[in-house]
Amino acid sequence: MVTFFGYRLFKFTLVVAGFALGVYLGIFLSGKLNITGWIIPVLTILLGIIGAVLTVLLFKISVFLLGAITGGLLSTIFAPPQGWNFLLFLLIGGVLGGILALLIQRPFISLLTAFLGAWWVVVGVFSLFGITQLDVGSGWRMPLVIISWLGLGGTGFLTQILKTSKKRA
Give residue-wise pLDDT tens across range 105-122.
Answer: 888 888 888 888 888 888
Which one, of 52, 61, 160, lies nearest residue 113 by Cα? 160
Select the more confidently predicted residue: 153 or 78. Answer: 153
pLDDT value of position 133: 62
Residue 141 reports pLDDT greater than 90: no
Indicate whether 135 pLDDT > 60.
Answer: no
State the pLDDT confidence band at 157, using cuts at 50, 70 and 90. very high
Q: What share of the chain is helix, strand, coil (3-state, %, to 5)?
A: 80, 0, 20
Q: What is the 3-state secondary structure (H, E, C) of 35-102?
A: CCCCHHHHHHHHHHHHHHHHHHHCHHHHHHHHHHHHHHHHHCCCCCCCCHHHHHHHHHHHHHHHHHHH
- Percent of the chain exceeding pLDDT 70 equals 89
pLDDT: which is higher, 32 or 77: 32
- Confidence at residue 167, expressed as pLDDT on a 0 to 100 scale: 59
pLDDT of residue 136: 47
Q: Report the pLDDT value the prediction gives residue 140, as an integer from 0 to 100.
A: 61
In tens, the pLDDT along 21-44 reads 889 999 988 888 888 888 888 999
pLDDT at 50: 94
Distance of alpha carbon 49 from alpha carbon 26, whole angstroms: 11
Residue 155 has pLDDT above 90, yes or no: yes
Residue ranges per structural domain of the chain: 107-169
What pTM did the predictor assign?
0.62
Q: What are φ and ψ of residue 115, in 5° steps? A: -75, -30
What local confidence, expressed as pLDDT, does residue 87 receive?
A: 83
The pLDDT of residue 3 is above 70: yes
The pLDDT value recorded for residue 169 is 45
163, 3 contact by CB (below 8 A): no
Contact 55, 62 (CB under 8 A): yes
Percent above pLDDT 90 for the chain: 15
